[in-house]
């Protein structure tokens, strides 16, 4: 308990000094700098040379000590300046199943007139990524985060660090970018499909794919349409971007339904629904999803899979202001 007190005080101090924000600029208030182990050894050598020069009245040794000390002082300025002025903005997220690793995007922008070289970024418990940003340039970097549970997992503070140019000093900052990574429920295999409508249950378990969709005509392209639906010939002829529209009989749809999984706890229900989302995608069977607070119309494809798993992951969660 004694160790928890200082850590709690330290977190509160960081919250006051650097509050959470989805865009932050590294300034003097947000940057810390200390010598590295190599830098401490370097200064010990410089001090030993100074004492030796005084003891033996050797001007060359004293000059070398002063040169090393001057170089160390110049390195302080350059190491600090390598982070100073860098603008960091929170970007998108890449969800993952609970227990796996997701990813969060950070966008770095150098709006000043000097480059930022050899900058390392990492969220707690994850491997660091290195990036260099030229003057006026904007770069995106994806950082791994641990998805501990279903729902929104707060990422914590991102560590931004640099030892440029000589490795004598380490400048770093700990920014709360107000980011969270969505965790999808861990799929739980089950043989009984919790779905209504669609083809007969026997046909579903046999893995039979339907091919009865009838071509109905063209409609304007909508974001999320499969590339296979696009009429590329018409687009090449300069008639605009259109998608092929097929009639899909109602009996060809399956509705994955929360209410068809009674007497189960919330996480078990969500896990079974997640498994059937993946299974129906694998079998190329159109499906929709019904939850107590939301409904997803029937469709098929990567976008449908993402929307369905997002719905399951967000169930019962208060969504932060994520830039999806």
Q: What is the pLDDT of residue 7?
A: 83
Q: 94 with 102: CB under 8 angstroms? A: yes
Q: What is the pLDDT of residue 23?
A: 94
Cα–Cα distance measured from residue 175 to residue 106, given in angstroms and rounded to the nearest whole number = 11
Q: What is the pLDDT of residue 312?
A: 94
- For the segment 279-308, the average pLDDT, to the nearest whole number, is 91
Q: What is the pLDDT of residue 214?
A: 52
Q: What is the pLDDT of residue 140?
A: 94
Q: With a cut of 60, say whether residue 2 has pLDDT above it.
A: no
Q: What is the pLDDT of residue 1?
A: 44
Domains of the chain and any CATH numbers: 4-36+83-183 (2.60.40), 195-213+248-314 (no CATH)
Q: With a cut of 70, say whether residue 123 has pLDDT above it.
A: yes
Helix and strand numbers (H, E) in the chain are 7, 18
What would the pLDDT profile of 38-71 be if each residue is shown by its tens digit? 999 999 999 999 999 888 888 899 999 999 999 9
Secondary structure (3-state) at 140: strand
Q: With a cut of 90, say whether residue 254 has pLDDT above it.
A: no
What would the pLDDT profile of 261-285 be if each residue is shown by its tens digit? 888 899 999 999 999 999 999 988 8
What would the pLDDT profile of 182-215 be if each residue is shown by its tens digit? 999 999 998 888 887 655 444 444 444 444 455 5
Q: What is the pLDDT of residue 100?
A: 93
**Cα–Cα separations (whole angstroms), residue 276 to 112, 180, 259, 290:** 51, 26, 15, 13
- For the segment 244-271, the average pLDDT, to the nearest whole number, is 77
Q: What is the pLDDT of residue 218?
A: 66
**Cα–Cα separations (whole angstroms), residue 4 to 7, 68, 154, 246:** 5, 41, 20, 62
Q: What is the pLDDT of residue 15?
A: 87
Cα–Cα distance measured from residue 181 to residue 93, given in angstroms and rounded to the nearest whole number = 6
What would the pLDDT profile of 127-172 be if each residue is shown by its tens digit? 899 999 999 899 999 999 999 999 999 999 999 999 999 999 999 9
pTM: 0.75
Q: Is the peptide bond before 165 cis (omega within 30 degrees of 0)?
A: yes
- For the segment 5-11, the average pLDDT, to the nearest whole number, is 84
Q: With a cut of 60, say whether residue 303 has pLDDT above it.
A: yes
């Amino acid at each position: 308990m004694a160790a928890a007190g200082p850590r709690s005080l330290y977190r509160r101090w960081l919250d006051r000094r650097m509050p959470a924000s989805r865009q932050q600029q590294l300034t003097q208030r947000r940057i810390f700098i200390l010598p590295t182990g190599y830098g401490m050894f370097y200064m010990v050598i410089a001090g030993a040379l100074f004492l030796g020069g005084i003891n033996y009245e050797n001007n060359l040794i004293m000059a070398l000590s002063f040169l090393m000390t001057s170089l160390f002082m110049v390195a302080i300025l350059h190491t600090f300046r390598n982070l100073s002025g860098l603008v960091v903005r929170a970007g998108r997220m890449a969800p993952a199943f609970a227990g796996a690793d997701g990813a969060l995007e950070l966008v770095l922008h150098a709006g000043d007139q000097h480059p930022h070289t050899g900058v390392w970024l990492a969220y707690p418990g994850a491997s660091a990524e290195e990036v260099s940003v030229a003057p006026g340039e904007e770069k995106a970097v994806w950082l791994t985060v641990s998805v501990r549970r279903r729902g929104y997992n707060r990422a914590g503070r991102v560590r931004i660090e640099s030892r440029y140019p000589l490795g004598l000093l380490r400048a770093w900052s700990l920014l709360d970018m107000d980011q969270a990574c969505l965790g999808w429920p861990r799929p739980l295999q089950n043989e009984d499909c919790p779905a209504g409508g669609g083809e007969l249950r026997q046909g579903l378990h046999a893995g039979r794919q339907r091919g009865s969709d009838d071509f109905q005509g063209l409609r304007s392209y909508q974001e999320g349409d499969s590339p296979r639906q696009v009429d590329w010939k018409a687009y090449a002829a300069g008639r605009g971007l259109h998608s092929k529209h097929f009639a899909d009989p109602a009996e060809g749809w399956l509705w994955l339904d929360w209410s068809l999984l009674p007497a189960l706890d919330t996480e078990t229900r969500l896990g079974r629904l997640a498994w059937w989302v993946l299974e129906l995608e694998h079998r190329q069977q159109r499906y929709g999803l019904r939850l107590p607070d939301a409904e997803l119309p029937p469709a098929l494809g990567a976008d449908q899979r993402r929307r369905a798993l997002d719905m399951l992951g967000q169930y019962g969660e208060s969504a932060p202001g994520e830039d999806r």
